[in-house]
Structure 1
């Protein structure tokens, strides 16, 4: 296990299995640290499939019918959610061992770089893909995830982290107040495969352009609104790093802000251990040419950054 710690007492803990964050510990006055992500202290739960905090790839979210074409070649990948593919397959990048390197400490930041080499045909994907994820923690209480990937054959790449957050001292996350910088989202069918259309959040339970408690509209008529599992199109996303979302926990005053250069973010609230804000390209983008492309070609480099920044009470 690797532990990064800043001058404010914030800790980030990592393991090589799944390049997993097991803890983001925030200091509390007169109390023990609070881990604001779901995590375990031993390896065993992760070996049994514990879902939290790991890197997701080679393709995060869903691929319809577990197949896609690049040029004239069709590829079939692992079917692991009904007839479809999700989160890179049965193992993906979350259930494999990465190699870790501690990077030199700077005056205000510490970092660990993890590497995984996915071979041609793994989970059905083409190309040998080398992936690096650098986790860093600085004295601004920012946890930064910097992803890099390169390939020797054209292949889809969509990477994220499956961290589950809960900023409360006790109880659930339903009263957390959420803001998402998004006017539109990508609607999906009953199996959560995108229709290919865009829809406005106006007048729906998906509208978080002003702060709302996450559980406030649980009885809204919007399909699955109480079990948010939706991809939001980040306003101004997909280019430089922009503010994506803010979560406020009213009981403690803790605040988490999310920043990314990814075009989308998946809000997921279907597990009581926490809520997810998974920065990503859009689900099933391999079948929708008008979505931002996820195809990485030889000679090109995949790079993306996500930041979770914490304000302490």
Structure 2
């Protein structure tokens, strides 16, 4: 079975702008409040593509709608593709020429590694992720999928879904997945569904950068009917849990209509609105530094 929501043709992907099925998201994934930020005293204005207030996933000109260079990589233990592109100074409103590589590598151990690396010639916020929609059955909803996560907190947000800066303990709330439970058990208490940034064990505290060389277990997704399991490890401090709350009625692969909660996205990332939150782990990449974000999805059955 195909365990990813998406489309059958390229034009369908292009026309479904805003859903980002299976695509790279950047320059800055998730939201930036007020569609602006300041670095070293200089203010930058971005696209207001989220309710005409915030920037979401980089703005109107998203990096999943541009042409990337591609190189196939094939070894004795894995195969994959490395995409590369220069995002020019001022693209999406962000400063700096940003040289980006995105690699997808599938190993013989059934692990899919996604790695994002970037360098810049000016200080600039960087936050890449992938917006894959997983359904381990391949159809229907994911409400009977079991999810377990070592994330013990999530970011409180305001009415515009911008973090307040406060981390909420999941204990005793519908957001608690520290012990495995079905996604559907408490989803009715979180209408219209989960769409929250959880704090992974990579988080080291206020304004502290996580260790880029250390991967932590962020989530385990399991479907009891098929016996399929997916693990997620990352070096990022945040992971967005999103239960496909707004895909109902879209045409999916082979013409099949999508349903509400037909998938779950587990998007590793920096914290949303980090450019405007000095207490959040740093997200600004500076010249001579290297951005290096890694996420590994492991599959078994």
Give the structure-2-normalised TM-score.
Answer: 0.89
Structure 2 Cα separation of the partners of residues 144 and 72 of structure 1: 37
SS in 2 for 1:153: coil
Q: Distance in 2 between matches of 1:57 and 1:167?
A: 26
Q: Specify the alignment match of 2:235 in structure 1.
A: 261
1:55 maps to 2:29: no
Matching of residue 41 in structure 1 with residue 8 in structure 2: yes
RMSD of the alignment, in Å?
A: 1.2
* Alpha carbons 2:202, 2:215 under 8 Å: kept: no
Aligned: 1:283 with 2:257: no
What is the CA distance between 1:41 and its match in structure 2? 2.9
> Within 2, Cα distance between the matches of 1:309 and 1:228?
23
Unaligned segments of structure 2, at least 5 residues? 204-209, 247-259
Matched, 1:252 2:226: yes
Q: Are the equivalent residues in 2 in contact too, given 1:246–1:257 (CA < 8 A)? A: yes
Distance in 2 of aligned mates of 1:87 and 1:236? 22
Q: SS of the counterpart of 1:244?
A: strand
Distance in 2, matches of 1:184 and 1:41, equals 37
Structure 1 partner of 2:113: 144
Note if 1:175 corresponds to 2:175. no
1:185 paired residue among 145, 150, 154: 154
Q: 2:99 aligns with which of 130, 136, 156?
A: 130
C-alpha separation in 2, matches of 1:277 and 1:218? 16
Distance 2:181 2:192 in 1: 13
- 3-state SS, counterpart of residue 166 of structure 1: coil
Post-superposition shift, 1:226? Answer: 4.7
Matches of residues 163-312 of structure 1 in structure 2 within 5 Å?
Answer: 163-220=132-189, 224=190, 226-237=192-203, 238-239=210-211, 240-269=214-243, 270-271=245-246, 272=260, 273-312=262-301
The residue that corresponds to 2:57 in the other structure is 87
Is residue 101 from structure 1 mapped to residue 71 from structure 2 by the alignment?
yes
For 2:36 and 2:138, how far apart are their aligned partners in 1? 43
Aligned match of 2:39: 70
Q: For 2:40 and 2:107, how far apart are their aligned partners in 1?
A: 43
Q: Deviations over 1:266-302 (max 9, x none)?
A: 0001243411000001000111111111100011110
Give 1:260 shift. 0.3
How many correspondences in the alignment?
Answer: 275
Separation in 2, partners of 1:40, 1:108: 30
2:4–2:138 CA contact under 8 A, matched in 1: no
Is the contact between residue 217 and residue 225 of structure 1 (CA under 8 Å) also seen in structure 2? no
8 Å contact 1:193–1:284 — kept in the other structure?
A: yes
Secondary structure of residue in 2 paired with 1:94 = helix
How far is the alpha carbon of 1:254 from its aligned partner? Answer: 0.3
Kindly indicate whether the alpha-carbon contact (under 8 Å) linking 1:256 and 1:309 is maintained by their aligned counterparts in 2: yes
Work out the CA distance in 2 between the residues paired with 1:256 and 1:198: 26
Unaligned runs of 5+ in 1: 1-33
Deviation at 1:225, TM superposition (A): 5.0
Distance 2:192 2:41 in 1: 41
Counterpart-to-counterpart distance in 1, 2:170 and 2:139: 31
C-alpha distance in structure 2 between counterparts of 1:121 and 1:217, whole Å: 43
Separation in structure 2 between the aligned mates of residue 130 and residue 100 of structure 1, nearest angstrom: 14
Is the Cα–Cα contact under 8 Å of residues 205 and 225 in structure 1 kept in the other structure?
no
Residues 100-119 of structure 1, C-alpha deviation per residue, up to 9 Å, x if partnerless? 0112x221101210012111
